[in-house]
């Protein structure tokens, strides 16, 4: 971005003032800058440029490279579970060219307990629409998680689209989890008790977190103690009303799509691979869950073919059942385009018998072995855009991250499966004005951190009759 264009952008937003009354000018300009940068990113590039994040003196970072055995073990698990979807997948995910990089982030005071298998560990999966981002780029987040949760954070670089299609990212997140619970003898730490692990991510990282939970459950692998998802992207069909609300589009940082820089080797490779996969799908004529809208529009995502959009590990909101998952804290912004999908996902997980979507699903819920409600805490933050947590100077960011830390500490201290939903929540969060069920707490959080019932408009999406149907607007 040129300096003149940068100045013009800042001056324009400065003179217009915040679009939301509760936003300070500083918050408004910070959101505007992120929104502008996202909109001019014609990414991904062949190489990403990352701004260095200064490491505080009380933080330790240890970079690691995972042994390839973990990805190979993950591939074996994925081949079994994803066999019914293989006709719509690009087989190149089984031929990784790069190693899995990761890094440990923790407070210096945690150094002495590094070899204790009972330590709390956060497995962090970064955001970036499955196309951009890295562990290093997300250190502003992981520093905060380590501090507030008093936990060690393991943040990993999973493979990115468009070079690496689904399920490459899922394969790598599962590999990182297997590394934590069964490390090599020289890894520098003992096997982590799965119940002391919380998987956590923002945006696409939140969607990948929930996809990983679903996969671990379906593959019969040990489940972690819980999950925290911030502004999770769980519906890659873009079917929910908030995604297309003009007011949300005006305020939120999320644009329409991420495009590839034209006339580059990456673009040429993606176009060729897309055609090869499309020809394969047309020849195979796969019989998987889907909707006619998937093939009535051009390719929607860089991450996967349209025919794969309803796979639950792509769009977790569309899973047949979200029951029998570990406890989840879900935070979403009241003015973000992904708000409705986060709300619907949370209700569906907590009440799997009531929300069986989409309308074109197989209707095999009664045969599902996963019918028990998942404990979910849903927090909708007034006036907040997508991943407002990044604006660390703001009160809503501070409140949200503090609550993440408290949830992580609580969920990793559970000794059995009888813990109530109340035990997962700070005492001052629950009030008589907020409805609570054995598996669900849902609340609005004001910009000052006060709690109240969800708005009526928050619940409108629960009645939406076009769930999982690709709208014509995506063209």
**What's the pLDDT band for 3 if we cut at 50, 70, 90?**
very low
pLDDT in tens, 247-268: 999 999 998 777 777 778 888 8
Residue 65: predicted pLDDT: 96
What does pLDDT average to over the chain? 89
167 occurs within a structural domain = yes
Say which residue, 47 or 155, is predicted with more confidence: 155
Residue 1: predicted pLDDT: 46
**What's the pLDDT band for 145 if we cut at 50, 70, 90?**
very high
95 occurs within a structural domain = yes
197 occurs within a structural domain = yes
Average of pLDDT values for 6-34? 78
What is the distance of C-alpha 300 from the center of its chain?
18
225 occurs within a structural domain = yes
Say which residue, 97 or 167, is predicted with more confidence: 167
pLDDT at residue 414 tops 90: no
34 occurs within a structural domain = no
Say which residue, 209 or 368, is predicted with more confidence: 209
Number of domains in the chain: 1
235 occurs within a structural domain = yes
pLDDT at residue 88 tops 90: yes
CB 28 within 8 A of CB 19: yes
291 occurs within a structural domain = no
Residue 211: predicted pLDDT: 98
What's 211's domain CATH number?
3.40.50.1820
pLDDT in tens, 417-442: 677 888 888 766 666 678 788 999 99
Residue 334: predicted pLDDT: 97
46 occurs within a structural domain = no
Whole domain around residue 420: which residue ranges? 59-245+311-463
């Amino acid at each position: 971005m040129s300096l003149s264009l940068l100045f013009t952008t800042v001056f324009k937003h400065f003179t217009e003032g915040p679009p939301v009354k509760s936003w300070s000018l500083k918050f408004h300009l910070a959101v505007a800058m992120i929104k502008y940068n996202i909109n001019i990113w014609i990414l991904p590039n062949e190489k990403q440029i990352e701004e260095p994040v200064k490491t505080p003196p009380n933080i330790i970072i240890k970079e690691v490279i995972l042994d390839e055995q973990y990805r190979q073990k993950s591939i074996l698990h994925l081949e079994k579970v994803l066999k019914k979807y293989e006709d719509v997948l690009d087989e190149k995910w089984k031929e990784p060219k790069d190693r899995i990089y990761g890094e440990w982030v923790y407070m210096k005071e945690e150094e002495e307990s590094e070899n204790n298998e009972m330590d709390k560990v956060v497995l962090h999966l970064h955001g970036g629409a499955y196309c951009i981002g890295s562990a290093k780029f997300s250190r502003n987040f992981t520093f905060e998680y380590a501090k507030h949760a008093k936990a060690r954070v393991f943040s990993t670089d999973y493979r990115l689209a468009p070079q690496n299609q689904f399920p490459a990212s899922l394969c790598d997140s599962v590999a990182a989890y297997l590394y934590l619970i069964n490390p090599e003898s020289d890894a520098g730490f003992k096997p982590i008790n799965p119940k002391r692990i919380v998987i956590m991510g923002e945006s696409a990282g939140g969607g990948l977190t929930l996809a990983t939970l679903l996969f671990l459950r379906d593959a019969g692998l040990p489940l972690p103690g819980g999950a925290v998802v911030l502004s999770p992207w769980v519906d890659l069909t873009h079917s929910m009303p908030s995604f297309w609300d003009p007011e949300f589009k005006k305020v939120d940082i999320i644009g329409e799509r991420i495009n590839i820089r034209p006339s580059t080797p990456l673009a040429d490779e993606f176009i060729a691979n897309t055609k090869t996969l499309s020809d394969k799908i047309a020849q195979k004529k796969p019989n998987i869950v889907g909707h006619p809208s998937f093939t009535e529009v051009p390719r929607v995502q860089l991450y996967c073919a349209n025919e794969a959009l309803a796979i639950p590990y792509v769009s977790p909101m569309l899973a047949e059942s979200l029951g029998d998952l570990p406890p989840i804290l879900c935070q979403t912004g009241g003015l973000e385009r992904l708000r409705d999908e986060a709300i619907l996902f949370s209700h569906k997980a907590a009440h799997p018998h009531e929300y069986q979507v989409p309308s074109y699903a197989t209707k095999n819920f009664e045969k599902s072995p996963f019918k028990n409600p998942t404990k979910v805490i849903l927090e909708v933050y007034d006036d907040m855009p997508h991943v407002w947590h990044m604006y660390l100077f703001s009160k809503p960011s501070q409140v949200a991250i503090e609550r993440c830390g408290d949830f992580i500490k609580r969920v990793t201290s559970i000794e059995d499966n009888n813990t109530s939903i109340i035990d997962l929540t700070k005492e001052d969060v629950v009030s008589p004005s907020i409805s609570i069920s054995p598996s669900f707490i849902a609340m609005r959080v004001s910009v000052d951190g006060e709690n109240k019932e969800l708005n009526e408009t928050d619940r409108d999406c629960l009645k939406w009759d076009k769930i999982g149907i690709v709208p014509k607007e995506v063209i």
